[in-house]
Chain A
Amino acid sequence: MITALTGFAILLLIIVVVRVPIAFAMGLVGFFGFAYLQGLGFDNFMDFRWNGALSMASKRVIDTAQEYSLSVIPLFILMGNFVTKSGLSQELYAASNAFLGHRKGGLAMATVVACGGFSAICGSSLATSATMAKVAMPPMRKYGYSDSLATATIAAGGSLGILIPPSVILVIYGLLTETSIRELFAAGFIPGLLGILLYLLAVRYVVWRNPASGPCGDKLTWPERFKALSGVWGVLTLFIIVMGGIYLGIFTPTEAAGIGAGGAFFIALARKSLSWASLFDILTDTGRTTTMLFGVVIGALIFSNFINRAGLPADLLAFVQGLEVSPMVVILVILGVYIVLGMVFESLSMLLLTVPIFFPLVQSLGFDLVWFGIVVVVVTEISLITPPVGMNVFVLSAVLRDVKASTIFKGVTPFWCADIIRLILVTLIPAISLFLPELLYRN
């Protein structure tokens, strides 16, 4: 326990103070921590058998870079990028804005709804945030929204991307626990809608406290509203292709990513919104995001090898089991652990680190693994906007070069509270997540 916690402390120090990129910091701490557990000390630095730790790290790099199931990451992101390029995300935003924009904080509310809609075709929260940042930030600035509300809305709304299907994170959870991915997708739907609803309330709360942070936009007439609505068919078509294909068993969720990207490519072609240069941009932009994500995954895996060897998962498990309390309290303790870990971990690495530790325990307590998956994803969403390491916030500050991460974190608090409320609801009322899978697949 002490070794692992020291490792955590050093990791935090070098990512926060020394500003080493997270991927490399996790890899380095994991590597040296592992070597330390294999007997590395100051006295034997020169004649230490380095090959063990080096091979461990090398194999993580080699294997992860060639992991078939991770192909969903570039392909779902690519789908999102094609969709953005063909103007579908603008249309989504325009449609939401047509109905909500004239209210106080309306543009922010429209952003939340559009994020929800975009999540329904995009597998990744990072892609959702990045896209909506480009679409929603200019109008919110134009109408005098405060940077902290505007960006926090996008960061929070973007976190819906991993819950509303399709979702890269749900795919990985399904792989780790051998749970049906299509049941997970179905289960994520209602909690996703609940998330939208609660975020809308969070926006209302912010503008109630400080009306200047979200002034009203223009009011549109009903014919104008219906016109805006008619632009949403593209998103709808793609959603039906991707989800329908999965539900009807035409392809696997992994393949759905490729089909979705292909479909989005043809929609973009049909709308004549592609040139060679923009196609190149979309592909390379997806490539860069993918590389960044793979870096974090690889770093997290090397770090997890160290944490595992140091015995932290077993210690945590023993701790939870030793409490001798009711199963639901165990779940709440696990969630507490997630929220704490969520401060330092990015969603995917947190999932990779914790799910293999906890799911056998949860299963043995008699809980439904599909339900637990949704609970885990909701708590993971929280980690995306929890400082100091909130990936959505970082992506946003990378896309909007002139906004600091600290500004976004400041605005995120009400949304964080909304997330906690949703977490409590989803945890205590399993039917919220299990209603659809029961209805569709379990009869």
Chain B
Amino acid sequence: ETTLRVASWLPPTHPQNAVVWPTWSKWVEEATEGRVKVAIEYGMGHPKTMFELVEDGVVDASFSYHGYVPGRFKLTQAVEQPLLGTSAEAASVAHWRIHNKYFAKAQEHDGLEVIGLFTHGPGQIHMAKPVSSLGDLKGKKIRLGGGVQGEIGHRMGVTAVGAPAPKVYEMMQQGVIDGVFIPMGEQKSLRLKEVAKNVVALPGGMYLGSFAMFMNPDFLADLDAKDREAIMSVSGEKLSAMAGKAWDAGDAAGLEAAKEAGVNITMVKDGDALSKEFVELTKGMDEAFLKSVADRGVDAKAALTELREVARNYK
């Protein structure tokens, strides 16, 4: 019997640890007829470090947010671009397929066996005070996580404040920041419902966030061929879709919690003034993305087009 150690860094109650890893662990145990057992380990360090901890065999598997390692992961930003307008589940499946068809050869995940790719739910605007247009955000102090949301914030003219996600609650409460761009699920898991009483939800959100789940290649190589195949058979697209779905469910729970807490939620519809404003704001971001990955030697333009097609036609 082999133990597969998964390092995790979100709280144990987060959907990734409460749903995604336990479900996959059940799949792995079933597929390998109990020969491989999955154990979750906490407290191994900063999320950005997970890539290297897995590569060097400190743990056997983990997951991380690509945006934590700028420069290394650029192609993964394709799925984060604005106006995709789908659920995390659909985006995750498209993310996985496009990665394998177009991006894998660029070797951004060098040293790792990627077992799944997914995105968090659509990022929305969470503010202490109400806003009625994107213009109202100019000069506001907003916590930004970087990557595509950094670019959006820059275009809006906000004053960017950098901080890790778990600090957002306190900074909102104190008024150090006026708002944050983050998925709806954080209304519940980061308790934003108490401090960010005004949410503007754009149709399909402003951006997505790209994550990978990965394993150590040596660990896989040391397994029996049939166990290796069994693990891979319950990973890939199947795992990606399941993860995206779990994060979607987290967002739904967040929305529910926000409504219960009396948060003022503006559901912007396609064609509303705010929505038009956002489309105008993000003009040219595709081109900027394509330019930033020009050195990667892949057909990013075709990939981006196909990614949107796959995601939007999912199910």
Contacts and interface: CB of A to CB of B under 8 A. Distances in A.
Tell whether A pairs with B: yes
Nearest to A60: B45
Contacts of B171: 252
Contact of A308 (B12, B41, B56): B41
A181 B167 CA distance: 10
A249 B175 contact: yes
Contacts of A181: 170
A53 B46 CA distance: 17
Interface string A159-189: 0000000000000001100101110000000
Given A178-B169, A308-B41, A59 B49 contact: yes
Given A55-B53, A178-B166, A252 B45 contact: no
Given A175-B166, A356-B42, A251 B57 contact: no
B175 A59 contact: no
Interface string B115-132: 000000000000000000
B45 A309 contact: no
B174 A182 contact: yes
A410 interface: no
Contact of B176 (A178, A252, A309, A356): A252
A138 interface: no
Interface in B132-170: 164, 166-167, 169-170
B170 A252 contact: yes
Given A49-B57, A56-B58, A59-B53, A308 B170 contact: no
A77 to B, nearest CB: 22
A63 B49 contact: yes
Interface in B42-59: 42-46, 49, 52-53, 56-58
B12 A309 contact: no
Nearest to B216: A52
A51 B56 contact: yes
Interface in A45-97: 49, 51-56, 59-60, 63, 67-68
B292 interface: no
Nearest to A34: B58
Interface in A220-249: 246, 249
A305 B176 contact: no
A308 B57 contact: no
Contacts of A178: 11, 166, 169
A186 to B, nearest CB: 13
A252 B163 CA distance: 11
A370 B28 CA distance: 39
Interface in A245-259: 246, 249-252
Interface in B169-199: 169-171, 173-176
A63 B171 CA distance: 24
A308 to B, nearest CB: 6
Given A175-B166, A304-B43, A360-B12, A252 B56 contact: no
Contacts of B41: 308-309
Interface string B5-33: 00000011000000000000000000000
Nearest to A178: B166
A180 B46 CA distance: 21
Nearest to A309: B41
Interface string A21-54: 0000000000000000010000000000101111
Interface size class of A (residues with CB under 8 A): 20 to 34
B195 to A, nearest CB: 10
B176 A251 contact: yes
A250 B44 CA distance: 33
B58 A52 contact: yes
A150 B199 CA distance: 58
A178 B52 CA distance: 26
A63 B12 contact: no
Among A175, A178, A250, A304, residue most surrounded by chain B Cβ atoms (within 10 Å): A178
B52 A55 contact: yes
A68 B171 CA distance: 15
Contacts of A55: 52-53, 56-58
Contacts of B57: 38, 49, 51-52, 55
Among B46, B164, B169, residue most surrounded by chain A Cβ atoms (within 10 Å): B46
B58 A180 contact: no
B16 to A, nearest CB: 16
B90 to A, nearest CB: 31
B43 A356 contact: yes
A332 B177 CA distance: 39
B209 to A, nearest CB: 19
A250 B170 CA distance: 12
A226 to B, nearest CB: 37
Contact of B173 (A38, A52, A180, A309): A180
Nearest to A247: B174
Contacts of B173: 180, 182, 249
Given A178-B169, A181-B170, A249 B53 contact: no
Interface string A281-323: 0000000000000000000010011001100000000000000
Nearest to B218: A49
Contacts of A250: 176
Nearest to B48: A63
B256 to A, nearest CB: 21
B52 A59 contact: yes
A251 B176 CA distance: 6
A291 B43 CA distance: 23
A305 B56 contact: no
Among A249, A250, A304, residue most surrounded by chain B Cβ atoms (within 10 Å): A249
Nearest to A352: B43
Contact of B170 (A49, A59, A180): A180
B305 to A, nearest CB: 38
A309 B58 CA distance: 10
Nearest to A174: B170
Contacts of B169: 178, 180
A56 B57 CA distance: 9
Interface string B33-77: 000000001111110010011001110000000000000000000
Among B11, B42, B45, residue most surrounded by chain A Cβ atoms (within 10 Å): B45
Interface of B: 11-12, 41-46, 49, 52-53, 56-58, 164, 166-167, 169-171, 173-176
Interface of A: 38, 49, 51-56, 59-60, 63, 67-68, 174-175, 178, 180-182, 246, 249-252, 301, 304-305, 308-309, 356, 360
11 contacts: A49-B57, A51-B56, A55-B53, A56-B53, A59-B53, A182-B170, A249-B173, A249-B176, A252-B170, A301-B45, A356-B43
Q: A-B pairs with the 4 shortest C-beta distances?
A: A249-B174, A55-B56, A249-B175, A52-B57
Given A55-B57, A178-B11, 13 more contacts: A38-B57, A53-B58, A55-B53, A59-B58, A60-B45, A63-B46, A178-B169, A180-B169, A246-B174, A249-B174, A309-B41, A356-B42, A356-B43
